[in-house]
Chain A
Amino acid sequence: MREVLEGSQAVARTVARCRPGVVCAYPISPQTHIVEALAGMARTGELADCEYVNVESEFSAMSVAIGACAAGSRAYTATASQGLLYMAEAVYNAAGMGLPIVMTVANRAVGAPINIWNDHSDAMAMRDAGWLQLFAADNQEAADLHVIAFAAAEELGIPAMVCMDGFVLTHASDVVELATADQIDAFLPPYHPQQVLDIDRPTTIGTMAGPESFTETRYLQHLRFLDAADVIAAWSDRFRAAFGREAGGLIARYSPDTLDRDAQAPPASSTDLTVVAMGSVLGTLQAALAPLRAEGVPVRLVGVTSFRPFPEAALREALGGSRHVIVVDRALELGAGGALTGSVGRALAGTRSRIHSVVAGLGGRPILESSLEGAVRRALAGELGALEFLDLKTGGVPVPVEGASEVTR
């Protein structure tokens, strides 16, 4: 049934239909509507056989999820921004212990200065924590990715973050078709934990590992992560077969002609300019690139859906040696450059692609179609730098520009 729903409601209903045994949460904008909706469903009984725990911090939210998952329940929480960083220690811990918790991250900037609006700096801060990180392009995908996330996480024994742009998706109403409870019951296997605190088969979970075994622990964790790309792809294929629509996958391909999402789209070629991005800005890019495409400019669009594991091979193949690669980056590695750009650069090592990082939309700054279109035109004219801040206001602000050498001491 197609219906108009707020992104948070779409996610909450889908999560509920995945039948979590324990949902725990601490409120933080812009995640609140999701956990409010789940709290309501837990009270009405729509979310059955589930304990909803109101905790006193995000640190405890992840800790409750750790305990619940280790005791054999499908466990879910949601957070954002400062909350994700406040639970950081437990985020790493859940991954190290192989507990397949699923968490929505309603992506939001990290302070200071405090800012409740969207960018990707929260998720990027946790990119090395050992979680799958799947980024939704729109509300439909945000909802669907949760089903894939539970399936892949539980098969792998790796926790999964579903990242959706705060406010831009969480608070926006859009037409969606939600997976029904029956459909999810048929699609998602029941949770069979790989390790569990069982009174009949007692185990010790969370031991100390010394120098003689820690490296091997991390190596094994990495091997499982290498499997993760195939597992995510396989569940995404199954999802397409079961539901008749695209969701998940490692990367999102877009038709060169229509710029619509198209899993069969051919790779770009060495004469193309390809824009790479994650999250809701992909929708903006579809619109922004359309006039260029209409003029016959060879522009392509590729989305990164799985940031962890990072799909280096799939991305390299899809970019096809594009002459220009513009990465629209919603997070900044201070002192280095765009966060997504770094990973894209690694995927393109040894190719002749010229990579431009366009840092855009920090702290909720709107990303305008006209600005994106302008960046592409400047790249084609050879005027786009290696790192640019889209729509940076320079009036009245002392802005060091690339190559500037004058420094007052």
Chain B
Amino acid sequence: MTTVHIPFLQTGTLAVGGRLLTEEERSVQSHADRPSSLTKGHRACQGCAEALAARWVMDTAVEAAGGKLIVANATGCLEVFSTLYPESAWKPPWIHSLFANAAAVATGIAASLHAQGRDDVRVLAQGGDGGTVDIGLAAVSGMFERNDDVLYVCYDNQGYMNTGVQRSSATPATARTATTPAVGRHPGQAFGQGKSMVKIAMAHEIPYVASATPADLRDLEAKVRTAMSIRGARYLHVLVPCPLGWGSASSASIALARAAVQSGIFPVIEARAGELTDVQRIRERVDVSAYLEPQARFAHLFTPGGEDALDRWRALAEANIRRYDLLGGAS
């Protein structure tokens, strides 16, 4: 990572406000004059981690860009809850065009700025997992392949939550959605499906790829800062728990994001030019059930007959731990 981790073990969390730190070490969010790029008045659900992460990401990006940031947004929750005419919750110049084209719109903005000699103005594109991994993948891949000067941020809530919680190709195995009901011998989303956008991004060998969660504000901010210090195509994948779609308490979003990391289910990594360069180690390992059980979409795993599926989840976590050396044991 680009910053030193400062664990505050007395609270069991890394999401500190910063009171115990020196001014320079404090997070953007700890400052009273933070940009609040996504400001009050929007219509996100209570406990929406996407709204939280989007504000944190954009505030950091706005600061890193010296206030000169233009944002292209895909269709999705983030767009719908923030911009019902005639209101807007966005402070930076912001454009929404379509579901699948945020990356290409951002390319156009970047091309225009370059043609105008305005390389001081930076461009961020953002969307949900549907707009990134499914319908928008071609445009995202094209932007990566051309190495356009855009930071693309995917807020991954693992499904089409805006349209009523349907399955996407980022929906995890066994998850119940409106289109993968929890019935039959293999309830929920099938094992073996889905794709890893982080690996896909790395395969493009773009300058910078990272994953993060809102459970670690300082790490998230550091990654945005790193991304903004680089030119060319950059990708940040943020896991954002969704109380509506996941069937979890609105107060549990941060805890669930943390459990996803600490169980090995969601590796928090950094990569440059296709090479893995850093991994956030698991600090206090938890069983996958700590992540799965608070979510109603996995309720069927905790009824008789769910043991096999839970074992497969544990195998997934083990595979991640091995692949990314999440426990730090490998020499």
Q: What is the interface of chain A, defined by CB distance below 8 A to chain B?
A: 21-22, 24, 49-51, 53-57, 59-60, 63-73, 75, 89-90, 93, 97, 197-199, 202-210, 213
Contact = CB atoms under 8 A, between A and B. Distances in A.
B94 A202 contact: yes
B100 interface: yes
B101 A203 contact: no
A127 B139 CA distance: 26
Interface centre among B83, B94, B97, B110 (most CB of A within 10 A): B97
A63 B101 contact: yes
A63 B97 contact: yes
Contact of B139 (A54, A56, A204, A206): A56
Contact of A60 (B68, B69, B101): B101
20 contacts: A21-B111, A51-B115, A56-B141, A59-B139, A60-B142, A63-B97, A64-B111, A66-B97, A69-B112, A199-B121, A202-B91, A202-B92, A204-B88, A204-B93, A205-B95, A205-B96, A206-B95, A207-B87, A208-B84, A213-B85
Nearest to A70: B95
Given A199-B70, A202-B90, 8 more contacts: A21-B116, A64-B107, A68-B109, A72-B116, A75-B108, A89-B100, A90-B98, A206-B95
A205 B92 CA distance: 11
Given A54-B146, A55-B142, A206 B108 contact: no
Interface of B: 67-70, 72-73, 79-80, 83-88, 90-98, 100-101, 104-116, 121, 138-139, 141-142, 145-146, 148
B142 to A, nearest CB: 4
A71 B85 contact: no
B95 A53 contact: no
A206 B92 CA distance: 14
B68 A199 contact: yes
B108 A208 contact: no
Contact of A93 (B69, B97, B121): B97
Contacts of A208: 79-80, 83-85
A97 B83 CA distance: 15
Contacts of A197: 70, 93-95, 109
A206 B146 CA distance: 26
Contacts of B73: 206
Given A51-B112, A90-B101, A60 B139 contact: yes
B105 A67 contact: yes
Contacts of A50: 115
B106 A67 contact: yes
Contacts of B93: 197-199, 202-205
Contacts of B97: 63, 66-67, 90, 93, 97, 206
A75 B108 CA distance: 9
Contacts of B142: 55-57, 60
Given A55-B142, A64-B104, A64-B105, A21 B94 contact: no
Given A198-B93, A206-B95, A68 B138 contact: no
A71 B113 contact: yes
Contact of A71 (B92, B101, B108, B146): B108
Contacts, number: 159
Contact of B67 (A65, A67, A68, A199): A199
Given A54-B146, A57-B138, A198-B93, A21 B98 contact: no
Contacts of A56: 138-139, 141-142, 145
Contacts of A75: 108, 112
A41 to B, nearest CB: 14
Nearest to A26: B142
A24 B108 contact: yes
A54 B108 CA distance: 11
Contacts of B105: 63-64, 66-67, 70
Nearest to B95: A205
Given A68-B108, A71-B113, A207 B83 contact: yes
B263 to A, nearest CB: 37
A350 to B, nearest CB: 39
Interface centre among B67, B101, B110, B116 (most CB of A within 10 A): B101
Nearest to A67: B108
Interface centre among A21, A73, A205, A207 (most CB of B within 10 A): A207
Contacts of A203: 93-94
A198 B110 CA distance: 13
B101 to A, nearest CB: 4
Contacts of B106: 67
A240 to B, nearest CB: 32
Contacts of A51: 111-112, 114-115
Contacts of A65: 108
Nearest to B106: A67
A49 B107 CA distance: 16
Nearest to A199: B68
A207 B96 contact: yes
B204 to A, nearest CB: 12
B55 to A, nearest CB: 16
B95 to A, nearest CB: 4
A168 to B, nearest CB: 31
A71 B139 contact: no
Nearest to A55: B142
Q: Which 6 A-B pairs have the closest CB atoms?
A: A67-B108, A63-B104, A56-B142, A63-B101, A206-B96, A71-B112
